[in-house]
Each structure stands twice: as C-alpha cells, then as structure tokens.
Amino acid sequence: MRITKNRITMMRMSDGHLHLRDNYMLKTVLPYSENVIGHALVIGNAPKIRSADDVTRYAVEIANAQSKKTFKPKIAFYITRETTYEDIKHIKAAGAIAGKLFLENQTGQETSTGSESGIYNLKQAYDQCAAMQELDMPLAIHAEDPTVFCLDREDVMVPQVKDLGENFLRLRISVEHITGKSMMNFLEDLPPSSNIRGTITSHHPVLTLDDVIGGRLHPHFFCKPIFKRPSDRDAILNAMLNSGKNRRVSHGSDSAPWRYTDKECKEGCPGMFTAPSAPSVTIELFEKHNMLHNLENFFSKNINETYGFPSDESDTIEFVRKPWKVPRYIPVKGSEWMGIHSDHIVPFMAGQTLEWSLET
Ligand SMILES: [Zn+2]
C-alpha cells in the first residue's frame, strides 16, 4: 500500500457481505461493486439460494451481468432447519463457499423462510453447523434475535455466538454487520486463536438511531441491524480503525439496494445501497483519525483471511483526493418508459460531496 497526501494505492478491495439482487436490479448495481471489489461474498437471500441448482443459476446470472474479470463473486447460501449434510455437500460442489444463518421470528413476523424451516436460535442449526465444519465452509451469521426489543437484538446473541464458537472450534464464524458495543467487545476480547471474526459496514461507524428517527423520519437510513447509540457507533468505529492490530474485523458493505418505492412507503424495507459511496466514506474516516495505514487490512487482507481468498498485492486500485458528488438518484435499468426512468435507487450519502474519488 502506498499513501501520499493526495493518492492512495492499495490492494483491490474485498467485500465480505454484498447483496446484488437479480434481473434489472443486478444489472443496475453490479458496476458499482465491480469497480473496486475483487473478492466478494454475495449473500444469497434475495433471490433465495438454498440448493446447488440455485447456486449454479445465480452464479451464471451474475457472470452474465458482470463486465470486469477482476470481480470474483462467491455465493453464500441460505441455511434453513431442513438443510442437510448432503445438501451442503452439493451446494459446495456447485461453488458456494459459505452459508448464511439468520434467525426467524416464530410469530411469523419478518419470517422469510416459512415457520416450518426457520431457525429460532443458533442451537437449532447445530446439525447444519457440524456439517459446515466438516465440509470446511465458513458460517456468516446475522446475529439478531428478532423476538426481543429491537435495540437489544444483537446484544442477546453474544452468549449464543460464544457457545457456537466453543462447540465448533474448527468452524470459521463471521458475525455480520456488527452494530453494538456488546458484540464488538466480545469479539475484541477473544484470544487470537479464536475462530470467530466479524464484518463492519461503512454506515454503522457513521450513523446512530438519531439519524433515522431523531428528527424527521429518514427512510433511506433504515437498515438492519438498526443504528444504535453513539457509544455503539464509536465502538464499531474504533474496532474498524484498529483492524490492522485486532485482525478480527473486516469490510462487509451489506450494500442492499431497494427501489425508492420500497423505502418511501407504508412498510419500508431495511437496507441501504452503499456500494457507490462506501469506499470514499470509509477512507475519509480512516484519514480523519490518522489510521490510513490500517485501510488495506480492513478492506482486503482481513476478509481474505476469513474466507481464504487469495491476496494479490499486484492487483491494486487507486483513490485520489478529488471531491465528487454522490448521485441523488440512480435509475434502475429496465424501468425506462418513453425515455423516462420510472424507478430509481437512492444511494447512501445521496447528494453529499465526498473527498476521495476512485481513479479510473
Ligand atoms: Zn445483509
């Protein structure tokens, strides 16, 4: 990595948690990740990736939409209570490299897999975790219990994650988009040999719940896990800035695009399209705190270690100090009618000026 006052040259970034969607949405959002990302773990929740056939089909769809060979997506499939050892073996053979675990709400609220196949606590997935360990596939966990009060959902998962780590010592575990100081402190206190790591987004070290509901409602800042207190944000920020030393956390953008009509409506969807602005926002933070020397660990090295992605020091990208304005709207491809786009995405930091630009 080379850093001068106005130029940063670093290894191509990796993304440990990326939502690319499908169809026209995929074609719209993919270029923003492809520009800067090499290795990416694409989370198979929308569309739902639960079988080897799903993996094959989705990998082809992404490959057909991509234009840069440097982008190397790998898929994380969706684990349910019905997923068997044989399923996972076939899913791995089809090219998926990790599994995503997500707790359901037994009341049916927020249920996305159907109550018969949903997992309500991590122990219910221990058969699947044993299979993942046996097949050497990492496990990415959305560590929130949807049955408890929303600000406490991640905190209550700490004992469950601890228990999981202790029961499956060879299983590589990644706690996704860490949001609160309880989980962050737990991770940072683990011994260096621990099998538990985590990802941090570009938005959780920046915003708090006040940015969403402290004044007027800001639907485009609504995401899961929800933003929490300033002390939680600061714990996340601190861990991210020190990712050269703790090696435990790395970049998972959780870029999750929605059409604005899915955000500005009666039941807005959680998720933010951060791919266009995430790198610049994060670079600004590292610079502001005089920690730019840790940037490469956060953006590529640590996540490559978690998932066994090769680190190619000769494949670099450059950012230059050149202010640019994040677009207010990004039109969704395929939504043109009579030359007018009827649909668009509002990206993270829409309309804001950021300091660092990708040199293309
Ligand atoms: Zn996600």
Per-residue pLDDT tens for 122-162?
A: 999 999 999 999 999 999 999 999 999 999 999 999 999 99
CA of residue 6 to ligand 1 center, whole Å = 33
Kindly tell me if the per-residue pLDDT of 229 is higher than 70. Answer: yes
Q: Are 316 and 5 in contact (CB under 8 A)?
A: no
CA of residue 43 to ligand 1 center, whole Å = 7
CA of residue 42 to ligand 1 center, whole Å = 9
Rounded Cα gap, residues 255 and 20, in angstroms: 8
Beta strands in 55-205 (DSSP E): 72-78, 98-102, 139-142, 173-175, 196-200
CA of residue 165 to ligand 1 center, whole Å = 21
CA of residue 320 to ligand 1 center, whole Å = 29
Top CATH class of 13-311 equals alpha beta
Q: How far is CA 318 from the centre of its chain?
A: 22
CA of residue 52 to ligand 1 center, whole Å = 21
For residues 360 and 31, the model is more confident at 31
Q: Are 144 and 103 in contact (CB under 8 A)?
A: yes
CA of residue 15 to ligand 1 center, whole Å = 12
Per-residue pLDDT tens for 248-288?
A: 999 999 999 999 999 999 999 999 999 999 999 999 999 99
The band of 108, judged by pLDDT with boundaries at 50, 70 and 90, is very low
CA of residue 255 to ligand 1 center, whole Å = 7
Kindly tell me if the per-residue pLDDT of 327 is higher than 50. Answer: yes
User: Domain segments of the chain: what residues?
Assistant: 13-311
pTM for this model (two decimals): 0.95
CA of residue 317 to ligand 1 center, whole Å = 25
The band of 246, judged by pLDDT with boundaries at 50, 70 and 90, is confident
Kindly tell me if the per-residue pLDDT of 57 is higher than 90. Answer: yes
CA of residue 16 to ligand 1 center, whole Å = 10
CA distance to 50, 101, 113, 129, per residue, from 123 (Å) = 20, 12, 17, 9
CA distance to 2, 164, 203, 282, 359, per residue, from 324 (Å) = 22, 44, 18, 15, 12
Kindly tell me if the per-residue pLDDT of 106 is higher than 70. Answer: no
CA of residue 348 to ligand 1 center, whole Å = 15
Q: Are 233 and 210 in contact (CB under 8 A)?
A: no
| Three-class DSSP category at 211 | helix
Kindly tell me if the per-residue pLDDT of 313 is higher than 90. Answer: yes
Q: CA torsion 190→191→197→198, rounded to 10°?
A: 40
Kindly tell me if the per-residue pLDDT of 2 is higher than 60. Answer: yes
